[in-house]
Amino acid sequence: MEQRFESLTIFEFQERFPDDKSCLIYLYEQKWKNGFICPGCGNTRYCKGNKEYILQCTKCNRLISPTSGTVFHQVKFSLLKAFYIVYYISTNSKGIASTELSRKLGLRQKTCWSFKHKVMNAMQSSGNFKISGKVEVDETVVGGQEEGVVGRKNNKKKLVVFAVERKGKGISRLYGKVIKNSSSKELRKFMQTTIEPDAEIKTDKWAGYAPLKKDFKNLHQEVSGKKGKNFPDLHRAIMGFKSWLRGIHHHANHLQAYIDEYTYRFNRSNMKVNLFENLISRMMKLGPYPYKMIIN
């Protein structure tokens, strides 16, 4: 089946996945492409199970379907519709609202919303590829009344720290995280998981960054300037994110998931990666993601 597809048109997608069975076969091949391993006892030998595409462990007799232990297990709609949701999310660079998915697929909006969040969960950074070289870091307020507006309180606004990796004339990568406050502790947590310790980091003069020079020896502080004019690339990236967010979402709920969605796509925009394939494979590696976890 090693037929690669860069970015499928809707026609190609429909040809590739005409029914539930074709989706199940795809997951079957994904799940066991490196061989069988029993999640119960670790045995690597199997025989055919009681149904097509179900394998049985020869040691503990456990039956394992391609979807078991993944977000695709026991979804309340067809596997084909689940694949369509992943397809629409992966091909709409502006993101897609759950109301639109609901209309396209004839599913309840809440059902689409919840499955969409399972897909977004798979867009989280693995943390395996830290940014390096020339890096800029800054915080910004998202949602509610933004900076500059005095006298109004909006509890829904959130503080986000962003980091960009600069390459040539532009930005090669972007990461962001919702933080409780702009203390050194919060900033350090984010920076240690996303930035290499020897990166050349530029931040503004905020006192919270000063203690981090112990962790990042090439951290330099510079006056940010009016509207961040000394950090043009970073501020362009932040503005890009905010306008994307405003395009489909008018609130800052689940902000981290939306940051993950945006940066996942942003960081792959120059790579020849098939986002649909990449997402399915990430979703197969993650365990179930129940509603309770999404709303927290």
Nearest to 138 by CA among 180, 57, 201: 201
Sheet holding 55-57, edge to edge: 46-48, 55-57, 63-64
Q: Contact between 38 and Zn ion (CB under 5 A)?
A: yes
User: In whole angstroms, what is the distance from residue 108 CA to residue 101 CA?
Assistant: 9
Nearer to Zn ion, 38 or 178 (CB): 38
Backbone angles phi, psi at 252, to 5 degrees: -105, 20
Helices 275-285 + 20-31 axis angle, to 10 = 70
In the complex, the smallest distance separating the C-beta of residue 72 from Zn ion, rounded to whole angstroms, is 21
**Residue placing its CB nearer to Zn ion in the complex, 40 or 290:** 40
- Asked if 57 touches Zn ion (CB under 5 A), the answer is yes
Does position 239 interact with Zn ion (CB under 5 A)? The reply is no
Task: Give the span between the Cα atoms of 85 and 96, in whole angstroms.
Answer: 9
86 lies in the site for Zn ion, by CB under 5 A:
no
Query: Closer CB to Zn ion, residue 55 or residue 123?
Result: 55
Binding part of the chain for Zn ion, among 54-62, 88-96, 189-197, 267-275 by CB under 5 A, reads: 54-62
Which one-letter amino acid corresponds to residue 148? G
Per CB under 5 A, the segment of 51-59, 87-95, 145-153, 210-218 that binds Zn ion is: 51-59
**What is the three-class DSSP state of 156?**
coil
Token pair listed for 245: 């967010």
Structure tokens, 131: 């940014």
Q: How many CB atoms lie within 10 A of CB 20?
A: 14
Triad 195, 176, 135: Cα angle to 5°? 40
Cβ of residue 66: shortest distance to Zn ion, in angstroms?
16
Least spacing, CB of residue 69 vs Zn ion, in Å: 13
Amino acid at 248: I
Determine phi and psi for 195, rounding to 5 degrees.
Answer: -120, 135
- Determine, following the binding rule CB under 5 A, whether residue 60 of this chain makes contact with Zn ion: yes
The region of 16-24, 38-46, 144-152, 190-198 touching Zn ion under the rule CB under 5 A is: 38-46
Contact segment (CB under 5 A) with Zn ion among 5-13, 16-24, 35-43, 233-241 equals 35-43
Size of the site for Zn ion (CB under 5 A): 8
Q: Does 39 bind Zn ion (CB under 5 A)?
A: no
Residue 40 touches Zn ion, criterion: CB under 5 A: yes
Span near Zn ion by CB under 5 A; candidates 55-63, 157-165, 273-281, 287-295 = 55-63
Tell me the C-alpha distance between 267 and 244, whole Å. Answer: 15
**Smallest separation, CB 42 to Zn ion (Å):** 7
**Residue 211 DSSP label:** G
Using CB under 5 A, pick the residue from 5, 6, 21, 41 that binds Zn ion: 41
Give the residue ranges of DSSP H helices in the chain.
Answer: 10-16, 20-31, 79-91, 98-105, 109-121, 184-194, 232-248, 255-266, 275-285, 291-295
Which residue in the set 43, 68, 78, 281 belongs to the binding site for Zn ion (CB under 5 A)?
43
Length of the chain: 296
**Nearest-approach distance from CB 44 to Zn ion, in angstroms:** 9
For residues 58 and 221, which CB has a smaller minimum distance to Zn ion in the complex? 58
Q: Would you tell me which residues interact with Zn ion (CB under 5 A)?
A: 38, 40-41, 43, 57, 59-60, 62
